[in-house]
C-alpha cells in the first residue's frame, strides 16, 4: 500500500490500521461471526474514523492545505454514509448482507483515500516518512 502513503507518520498509521481492522472483520465473517461482532466492529470503526478525520483536518490546517473546506465536506459526507450503514446492519439477517455492509465501508474508505487524501500528499513535507 506504499502508493497510498501521504507522508505523515500518524495519518499513514491510521490509514494502515483501517485496513487491519477491516481485514480482521472479513476473517471473522468468514468464520461465521455474529451480527453483534460486526456491529461492534462498525461502532469502533466510526470512533476511529472520527478521530482520524479530526487528526487529518488538523494536519491539513497546519500545512495550509488550500482545499481544506472541500476535504472537510468530503469527511462529513463519508461519515454520514458509514454511519447510515448501522441501520442496514441492524436488519441484516445473513452473513452475505453483513458482507455487503463491510464491502461498502471498505470501498467508501478506499475511494476517499485514493481520490481525496492523495490530493493533499504533495503539501506534506516528511521526506523520511515511514513507508508502507
Ligand atoms: Fe481525508
Ligand atoms: Fe484519511
- What is the whole-number distance in angstroms between the Cα of residue 94 and the centre of ligand 2? 30
Contact (CB, 8 A) for 61 and 54: no
Whole-number pLDDT of residue 60:
98
- Which ligand has an atom closest to residue 79 CA? 1
Assign domain 6-122 to a CATH class.
mainly alpha
d(CA 11, CA 8): 5
Per-residue 3-state assignment (H helix, E strand, C coil) for the chain: CHHHCCCCHHHHHHHHHHHHHHHHHHHHHHCCCCHHHHHHHHHHHHHHHHHHHHHHHHHHHHCCCCCHHHHHHHHHHHHHHHHHHHHHHHHCCCHHHHHHHHHHHHHHHHHHHHHHHHHHHHHCCCCCCCCC
How many whole angstroms from 103 Cα to the centroid of ligand 2? 18
**pLDDT tens-digit profile, the chain (132 residues):** 668 899 999 999 999 999 898 888 889 888 988 888 889 988 999 999 999 999 999 999 999 999 999 999 999 999 999 999 888 888 887 888 888 888 888 888 999 999 999 999 999 975 554 555
- Ligand nearest to the backbone CA of 67: 1
| Dihedral sign from CA coordinates of 82, 29, 5, 58 | positive
**Residue whose cell numbers read 448482507:** 97
Identify whether the C-beta of residue 127 lies closer than 8 Å to the C-beta of residue 68: no
What residues does each domain of the chain span?
A: 6-122
Q: How far is the CA of 119 from the centre of ligand 1 (A)?
A: 9
Amino acid at each position: 500500500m506504499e502508493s497510498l502513503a501521504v507522508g505523515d507518520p500518524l495519518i499513514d498509521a491510521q490509514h494502515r490500521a483501517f485496513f487491519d481492522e477491516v481485514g480482521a472483520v472479513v476473517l471473522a465473517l468468514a468464520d461465521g461471526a455474529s451480527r453483534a461482532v460486526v456491529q461492534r466492529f462498525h461502532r469502533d470503526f466510526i470512533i476511529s474514523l472520527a478521530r482520524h478525520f479530526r487528526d487529518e483536518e488538523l494536519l491539513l490546517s497546519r500545512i495550509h492545505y488550500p482545499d481544506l473546506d472541500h476535504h472537510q465536506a468530503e469527511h462529513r459526507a463519508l461519515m454520514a454514509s458509514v454511519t447510515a450503514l448501522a441501520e442496514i446492519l441492524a436488519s441484516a439477517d445473513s452473513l452475505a448482507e453483513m458482507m455487503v455492509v463491510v464491502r461498502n465501508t471498505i470501498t467508501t474508505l478506499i475511494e476517499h483515500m485514493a481520490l481525496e487524501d492523495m490530493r493533499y500528499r504533495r503539501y506534506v513535507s516528511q521526506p523520511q516518512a515511514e513507508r508502507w
